[in-house]
Amino acid sequence: MVSLAILVSRVSGLVREIVMARLFGAGQAYDAFLLGFRIPNLTRDLFAEGALSSAFVPTFTHYLSTRGRQEAAGLAHVVATALLLVVGAVCGLGIVFSPQLVGLLAPGFAAVPEKFALAVTLTRIMFPFLLFVALAAQAMGMLNALDRFGVPAMASTFFNIGSIGFGLVLGFLVGPWLGFEPIVGMAWGVVLGGVWQWLWQMPSLVRLGIGLRWRLDWSHPGLRQILQLMGPALVGSAAVQINVMVNTNLASRVVDPLTGPDGPVSWLGYAFRFMQLPLGLFGVALASATLPAISRSISAGNLEEFRHTVSHSLGMVFLLTVPSSVGLAVLGEPIIGAIYEGGRFRAYDTQQTALALSWYALGLAGYAALKVLTPAFYALGDSRTPMWVSVGSIAVNYVVASTMVNRGWLGHAGLALATSAVALFGFLTLFWILRGRLRGIDGHRLAWSVVRISAASAVMGQVVDAARAGLEGWLGVSRMARLLNLAACIPLGVLCFWALCRIAEVPELDSAHRAWRGWLRGGRARI
């Protein structure tokens, strides 16, 4: 259910990216926009979809299970009030110190004063987006805990629609009257899209008896528990953001032989955004459905059910993401070309974005598995272990990223490789620790499934790559030719992978079939 809702969200996000690529390409304006959007997104992971969600959902679920909906609603009001005060103050500080933040994250921008000034302006405009996305993340967590998944999963669709709709109106209709550039209007669209993302979920909460009320109570035991869980989570999320800062810093210094300093930041941004499609469909969707379930298992003291749910979710993650990563690596260039190429987005941009996407895809399974494993530790009341693993990832990222960029081996694609290395390191470490703590997590079964899934994916990749090359030689590389190529290769890959998994008797495939049939029979009513 969540996957289908997120599919709509990712498609709308892809439309937003296509519009941005056609209008602004991979040059100075979009580089500045990406940085301005990335800075509030760094703190977004700290205060919204990262530490807050992981700490809030288990606590809220515990209140629902043990104290009833009224007590849980009271906790929600206290947390929302604290968010308004704390995150509002962070937004104010971010607006004031935007020049320093831009200089810290992208020192290479200082070589082009107009680019630096534009990045500062866009950062200041988009910083309030953080407050609304924090409120939206809290609303999403409450709805998931109440077994409502469709509405919160669709929330990001309304952000995508709102950000591009408001942005186009403000940038190209209102902007010329008020004297600001189109890219500035797109930045205002991001803020208004964040407002819409939050407001979309509020009617569902009101119907469930949980609205938005002012209640300031710093001594509330539930708030204190959330803050205690968030402490290590903030450190862990901060470690992730340090990796992002390091990679952004290095990307701003990459000088491409053909485009100079303009391009690498945009190529990485377009590629990573595209990877969000399978990550959201499979990793985020499974994590959203898993966290409330394992939180209830822990509240009931049922460790065996907890172990089974986590193991089952990880198996599904591998079934869905391993072939996806192979598909993105093999079909990256025709996908990027068919979707983005045109206007100011050139063929060379297609090649460089596809190169980055292929290295990002290497870590897709690790990324998705982390979405399941990290909340599992929070459900167990342990937020320190993910924190220390995240801190350790700083060294992994720095060594790989700096080596790749400074030695000139892969350029901007080396930063994508570093990101994948961090994801795989985090997954393997957390899995090993959780397996020891639970005295088993069906590790042998999972390993055998991964071997069979990987083998099927490798064969599928060879078949699809041969088909792609043959069709490309016959049809060429025009947009229509690429679309026809993809229309043939993607179904071929899906059928090939499905047949190979059936032959290999991969158990997760049967689980996927049962889940799909169950949704068709009774899941629609809850969307």
pLDDT of residue 208: 84
In this prediction, residue 527 carries a pLDDT of: 32
DSSP character string of 244-301: HHHHHHHHHH--BTTTBTSSHHHHHHHHHHHHHHHIIIIIIHHHHHHHHHHHHHHHTT
Instruction: Give the pair of three-digit tokens for residue 131.
Output: 């407050």
Count, residues in the chain: 527
- Name the CA dihedral angle for 202, 207, 210, 213, rounded to a multiple of 10 degrees: 60
For residue 175, the model assigns a pLDDT of 83
Q: Tens digit of pLDDT for each residue in 22-69?
A: 888 767 888 889 888 877 776 666 655 566 776 787 788 888 878 888
**Would you write out the chain's pLDDT as a tens digit for each of its 527 residues?**
666 777 787 788 778 878 888 888 767 888 889 888 877 776 666 655 566 776 787 788 888 878 888 888 898 899 889 989 988 998 999 999 999 988 887 887 888 888 899 999 999 999 999 889 888 888 888 887 787 877 887 888 898 899 999 999 998 898 888 888 899 999 999 999 999 999 999 998 888 888 778 888 888 988 888 888 777 767 766 666 677 667 777 777 776 666 666 667 778 878 887 777 777 767 666 776 676 777 777 767 777 888 888 888 888 889 989 999 999 999 989 999 888 887 778 888 888 889 989 999 998 898 888 888 887 887 787 878 888 888 888 888 888 888 887 776 677 888 888 888 988 999 999 999 988 888 877 778 888 889 999 999 999 999 999 999 999 888 888 888 999 999 999 999 999 999 999 898 888 787 776 766 665 565 543 33
Which 8-state DSSP code applies to residue 478?
A: S
Question: How confident is the model over 267-313, as pLDDT tens digits?
Answer: 887 888 777 777 776 766 677 667 677 777 776 777 788 888 888 88
What's the confidence (pLDDT) of residue 358? 92
Domain ranges of the chain: 27-238
CB 222 within 8 A of CB 75: yes
Place of tokens 């899995």: 431
Residue pair 74/67 in contact by the 8 Å Cβ criterion = no
Query: In the prediction, which pLDDT does 445 show?
Result: 81
pLDDT at position 524: 43
Tell me the whole-structure pTM to 2 decimals.
Answer: 0.68
Structure tokens at 25: 């390409």
Q: Which residue has the tokens 């290479």?
A: 108
List Cα–Cα distances, 208 to 7, 78, 335, in angstroms: 26, 17, 42
End-to-end CA distance of the chain: 7
